[in-house]
């Protein structure tokens, strides 16, 4: 029974809570007890008797190899095996043991158990934690198995330890950061997409930064021992505030919770202060299943979460889905793409605010009958035209609009709008590329929405430089100090809306899913391509830093749009080691005065969905140790027919240059 129903959570795996069980040769009874009486959704259970050892069986059978002890696959239906059982690999296996017999037994058992789980069509198997920091043979064996698996996921059990009191390696006596243990294992397994993590949540938790790095990893389950729970005044289990926040983070990242251990508490006392809707029958069940109250508490936390906002529900299908950026000059957008962007009411409200402020500064009240020439370059299907006309009506100013659009299909829609909306005599439709249009007069206000996820990646600098000839001779970009200028001076100025300035940003991220999705293509091209993506299962490792900045009008004598930037990122001291899979890119743009648009996380415009972040992958992920700096270099390069980015990491480990000469990814002029 799922933890609850909430809008947007219907397809989330985190709605299902499991329970870790001991071996039971009557798996049907084990399933009935935990699912029917306990109301859990699945069990994590051993598939074979823990006393089984291949060497003992072979010794007793004269060396004849026999199958491990396991129940028949007929005791459950295929759908029950697949939906309600996670196989738990024998905890005693140690493939890196100095004891050769134990090592050989471990390898044989591991392969037999996973083969049996594969036969049962289980969705996942839980692998025991590595016994020591050195786990090369364990990883080698798992990697061999992964090469021949169908769709089954292997969950490597990793304790969620604190950095300052990390687990002790029994062999070397060294402190082991559990993340480093996981990182070593997955690197040895070549970042295989079917290898995931099951975190053992302990009573003490690492720092917030240390916890955050796990949300960029492929964590599929969180195992919470009953020892981790506290007891409230009525004798019922509860969790500390930090643990509650962590559980909510798991829910939000589709990480399933598994309850483990035994109950030493009174689970049947009346008068619970939890919010439950149990019938009298369920009260009896509470008395029979020792862990039911723990499940109820997990469900209570789930119910306390706010439903996903409508925008988040709309974007669910785009989470961590790689999309190629638009090619605005080479391609004509389709109607569906226009419609998606036009639904972003917040973006056009910001444009309307910017145009309104510009009109009021451009034309004082005593000259309200003066007509302002406004040009919308890249008009699409007219949302900016409409926003500009609404701004004129709001401010009581007169405007004359030129709507310039190169897409002939969108031009058809614009002509229809002129008739439908009664824009005759106000709006003139120009079917032309703004770079080549010979305007009949100069503009007072120039409006455009040429920004991409990385600011300049849809060639706004090149387009707006080409449109700059529309400016009046005394036209300038308005700075924030405009209010200190005289009204007479203001009336002589050109007003340039979007953009007086826009800046791109990057930040290093752990993004295991995105990296594996790029890696699955098995070629260089995809690792040298920037993708638009709704980032979700990522860890932001350091605050974003600015990369490239563009200002319009561009009064530079050279007018070069090439850029180069070197950046240094440092992880917070309490993060521990972390893996950098690539860089998230954002932009922030000043529309006019205090009106801005942006997706840079610290200043992002709320409730706006026109832009997702951009993702620059790394061919070889970079492992950052505590105290090390990440040195990154980014270039914006321009040719006669294309613009492209190049990027590389120079420290702590030098990496390959990405996208040299735009060989894999470029934007056509």
Peptide bond into 553 cis (omega under 30): yes
Nearest in space to 382 (alpha carbons), one of 432, 416, 358: 416
Angle in degrees, 0-180, between the axes of helices 345-362 and 383-395, rounded to the nearest 10: 50
Rounded Cα gap, residues 83 and 85, in angstroms: 6
Task: Identify whether 449 is a catalytic site residue.
Answer: yes
Assigned token pair, 198: 């099951």
- How far, in Å, CA of 381 to CA of 421, rounded? 13
**Termini Cα distance of the chain:** 55
Q: Is 236 annotated as a binding residue?
A: no
Task: Select which of 20, 217, 449, 462 is catalytic.
Answer: 449
Is 300 within any annotated ligand binding site?
no
What burial letters (b/e) apply to 186-204, b meaning 16+ CB within 10 Å?
Answer: bebbebbbbbbbbbbbbee
Residue 483 counted as an annotated binding residue: no
CA dihedral 475, 476, 480, 484 (to 10 degrees): -60
Q: Is 338 annotated as belonging to a binding site?
A: yes
CA torsion 255-256-260-266 (nearest 10°) is 110
Flag whether 434 is marked binding: yes
3-class state of residue 566 by DSSP: strand
Alpha-carbon span 56 to 54, nearest angstrom: 5
Query: Is 98 in the active site?
Result: no
Catalytic residue, chosen from 20, 107, 217, 458, is: 458
Q: How many CB atoms lie within 10 A of CB 552?
A: 21
Partners of 85 in the β-ladder: 43
How far apart (Å, rounded) are the C-alpha atoms in residues 591 and 587?
Answer: 12
Report phi then psi at 292, rounded to 5: -60, -35
Q: Which positions make up the binding site for S-adenosyl-L-methionine?
A: 338, 347-348, 405, 433-434
Q: Which positions make up the binding site?
A: 338, 347-348, 405, 433-434
Q: Which residues are catalytic?
A: 449, 458
């Amino acid at each position: 029974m799922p933890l609850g129903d909430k809008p947007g959570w219907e397809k989330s795996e985190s709605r299902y809570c499991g329970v870790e069980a001991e071996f039971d040769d009557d798996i049907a009874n084990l399933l009935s007890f935990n699912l029917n009486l306990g109301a859990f959704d699945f069990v994590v259970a051993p598939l074979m008797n823990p006393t089984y050892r291949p060497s003992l069986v072979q010794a007793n059978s004269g060396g004849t190899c026999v199958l491990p002890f396991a129940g028949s696959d007929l005791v459950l239906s295929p759908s029950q095996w697949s939906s309600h059982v996670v196989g738990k690999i024998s905890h005693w296996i140690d493939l890196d043991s100095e004891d050769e017999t134990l090592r050989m037994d471990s390898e044989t058992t591991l392969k037999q158990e996973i083969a049996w789980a594969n036969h049962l069509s289980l969705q996942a198997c839980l692998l025991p934690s590595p016994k020591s920091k050195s786990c090369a043979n364990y990883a080698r064996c798992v990697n061999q198995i992964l090469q021949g698996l169908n769709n089954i996921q292997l969950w490597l059990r990793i304790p969620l330890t604190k950095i300052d009191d990390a687990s002790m390696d029994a062999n070397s006596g060294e402190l082991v950061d559990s993340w480093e243990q996981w990182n070593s294992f997955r690197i040895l397994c070549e970042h295989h997409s079917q290898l995931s993590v099951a975190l053992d949540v302990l009573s003490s938790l690492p720092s917030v930064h240390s916890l955050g790095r796990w949300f960029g990893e492929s964590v599929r389950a969180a195992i919470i021992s009953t020892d981790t729970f506290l007891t409230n005044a009525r004798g019922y289990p509860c969790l500390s505030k930090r643990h509650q926040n962590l559980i909510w983070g798991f829910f939000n990242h589709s990480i399933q919770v598994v309850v483990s251990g035994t109950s030493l508490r009174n689970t049947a006392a009346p008068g619970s202060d939890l919010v439950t809707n149990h019938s009298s029958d369920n009260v009896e069940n509470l008395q029979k299943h020792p862990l039911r109250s723990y499940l109820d508490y997990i469900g209570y936390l789930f119910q306390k979460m706010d439903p996903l906002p409508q925008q988040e529900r709309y974007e669910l299908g785009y989470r961590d889905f790689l999309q190629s950026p638009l090619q605005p000059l080479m391609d004509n957008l389709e109607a569906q793409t226009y419609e998606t962007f036009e639904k972003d009411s917040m973006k056009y409200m910001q444009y309307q605010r910017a145009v309104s402020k510009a009109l009021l500064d451009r034309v004082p009240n005593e000259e309200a009958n003066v007509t302002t020439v406004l040009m919308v370059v890249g008009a699409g299907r007219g949302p900016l035209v409409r926003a500009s006309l609404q701004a004129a009506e709001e401010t009581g100013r007169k405007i004359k609009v030129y709507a310039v659009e190169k897409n002939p299909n969108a031009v058809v829609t614009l002509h229809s709008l002129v008739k439908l909306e009664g824009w005759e005599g106000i709006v003139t439709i120009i079917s032309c590329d703004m770079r080549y249009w010979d305007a009949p007069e100069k503009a007072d206000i120039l409006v455009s929405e040429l920004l991409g996820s990385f600011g300049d990646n849809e060639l706004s600098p090149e387009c707006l430089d080409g449109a700059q000839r529309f400016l009046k001779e005394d036209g300038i970009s308005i700075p924030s100090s405009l209010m200190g200028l005289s009204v007479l001076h203001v009336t002589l100025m050109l007003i340039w809306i979007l953009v007086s300035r826009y800046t791109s940003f990057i930040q290093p991220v752990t993004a295991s899913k995105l990296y594996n999705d790029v890696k699955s293509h098995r070629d260089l091209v995809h690792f040298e391509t920037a993708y638009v993506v709704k980032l979700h299962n990522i860890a932001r490792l350091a605050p974003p830093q600015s990369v490239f900045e563009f200002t319009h009008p561009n009064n530079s004598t050279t007018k070069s749009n090439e850029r180069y930037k070197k950046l240094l990122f440092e992880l917070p001291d309490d993060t521990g080691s972390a893996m950098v899979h690539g860089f998230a890119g954002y932009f922030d743009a000043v529309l006019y005065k205090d009106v801005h648009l942006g997706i840079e996380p610290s200043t992002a415009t709320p409730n706006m969905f026109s832009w997702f972040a951009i993702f620059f992958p790394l061919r070889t992920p970079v492992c950052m140790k505590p105290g090390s700096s990440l040195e990154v270099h980014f270039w914006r390069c321009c040719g006669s027919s294309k613009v492209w980015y190049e990027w590389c990491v120079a420290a702590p480990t030098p990496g390959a240059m990405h996208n040299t000469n735009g060989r894999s990814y470029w934007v056509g002029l």
